[in-house]
Amino acid sequence: MSSTHHGPRAQGAATMSQAEYSANLQRATLSSSVGSALEYFDFAMYGLMTALVFDRLFFSTDHPAMATVAAFGVYGVGFLARPFGGLFFGTIGDRIGRRWVLVATILLMGGASTLIGVLPTYEQVGMLAPALLVLLRLAQGFGAGAEQAGATVLMAEYAPVRRRGFFSALPFIGIQAGTLLASVVFFLLTLMPDEAFLAWGWRLPFLASAGLILIALFIRAKLRETPSFIQLEKQEQIAERPVREIFTRGRAGVVVGIGLRMAENGGSYMFQSIALAFVTSAAIGMDRGLVTWGVTLGSLIGIFSVPLTGRISDRIGRVPMYRFGAVFMLVFSFPAWYLLSLGNEYVAIAVIAVGLGVAVNSMLGPQCAMLPELFGNRHRYLGVAMARELSAVLAGGLAGVLGAALLAWTGGNWVVLAIYMATLAAITTASTFLVPETRARDLLRTEDALRISETERDTATDLTFSAADGGGPGEGGGVRSHRAGARSLGALDGPSA
């Protein structure tokens, strides 16, 4: 191995005292969690409003089914913007650092969400209303395209090695908190008279995004750059052309990362948006406010299941934990959509809660550390952003548009939706057989996990876990330096965060 792999983690870590490290780990966790909460509050709220409000306020109501398809089309536009935001901000994140990108993305994403709350409706300004909605949705998606990738990379690079799965999953409690908050707020809003809700009540949660922006900015302004990026600067290894690297050396990681995300991302948006549109359609006619509690319960479960599955992945490996979630969704798809079609509101709540809390989050937990571990240090931010956001278009965005279209074309046939979800789960299950085990990988390595030989991988794994089990830290592509750096901070067991 090149000598550049020996010592960077230790040197970078040693620039901070134990107290500084603990404080920055806490700030990284909190800032990532607040950003995740804001992103998913906005996206979950937008999804709820799309299924039940935007089709009525921003499009002609002459053809209700087509208005629903159009509303989900605008929903999908946000996903189309995400890869471009990931490409733009991911490149900057690998060139100048993680911290300032996260400041820029929270401003763009939160600002766009706040402005949605002051938009005029179709009745007031005609076609200008959906045009403005599309514009702000594009800005929202552009900022979100790097926000979650940045939070993922930030925590993986700060986290103690042996507990990286757990610590990397902690900010994603923000996803559950944001989704939970959105569903609770939406339920409370549905208690309003319909006239007041459609006139001004729906605007309140978007306007409230401004408060979360200020909190996130305050926290992120005090955050230091990650030790891994500091060492890239010291070693003068920062990529001059990260885009070229990611689409040559890092392409395999991006493709596999997309496959891993198909069931997690697509399934999440199907349970949150398409399922609600399905069960509240005229054919089934469930109460929209009551069924939303399925999303609420799923988010409550996720607050525990995401860090739990991240922690389990520290013990048994990322791949086995991830595969469990994908197979669970594959098996669950047909029973879930059949039960949703029965018209029982309490059964629907349980199905949505299990789909989100167990199936989706059993993949999300290990994914938080797994995606950063797939990519080398020189283009990690961009690699994670591309894997996340291209999959967001193919899975999350397409789930809304295609799902709404399938509802309209088939008259609400549950079998078609079950086949679609099972297909997403099958793609992810297959992808888990293409990815190497990445648990405890040295994040200072500049090559991607998919590019190292089987011999190198086995050697590095044996040495890493030999040290983790209490033996002396061994050589092997920076394993000694990585763990020595963590030990020098007292971070091997993780400072309290």
10-residue averages of pLDDT along the chain (497 residues): 36 57 80 78 78 77 72 77 88 83 84 89 84 88 83 87 91 80 83 85 87 79 78 71 82 93 92 85 76 87 93 96 97 96 92 95 94 90 90 78 78 88 95 93 86 47 42 34 36 35
Domains of the chain: 8-452 (1.20.1250.20)
447 contacts 376 by C-beta, under 8 angstroms: yes
Going 446 to 370 to 181 to 121, the CA torsion angle's sign is positive
pLDDT at 239: 67
Q: Which amino acid is at 347?
A: V
* C-alpha 210 chain-centroid distance: 21
End-to-end CA distance of the chain: 34
pLDDT at 51: 67
Burial pattern 15-32, b for ≥16 Cβ within 10 A else e, equals: ebeeeebbbbbbbbbbbb
478 contacts 6 by C-beta, under 8 angstroms: yes
Contacts of 94 (CB under 8 A, 6+ apart): 238, 239, 242, 378, 379, 380, 381, 382
pLDDT at 16: 59
238 contacts 371 by C-beta, under 8 angstroms: no
* C-alpha 110 chain-centroid distance: 16
Predicted model pTM: 0.75
Give, for 436, the enclosing helix (H) or strand (E).
none
pLDDT at 369: 94
49 contacts 133 by C-beta, under 8 angstroms: no
3-state SS of 276-315 is: HHHHCCCCCCCCHHHHCHHHHHHHHHHHHHHHHHHHHHHH
Burial status of residue 274 (CB atoms within 10 A of its CB: 0-12, 13-18, 19 or more) = buried
- Rounded to whole angstroms, the Cα distance separating 387 from 264 reads 13
Find where tokens 């299941």 sit. Answer: 305
pLDDT at 323: 97
Contacts of 331 (CB under 8 A, 6+ apart): none
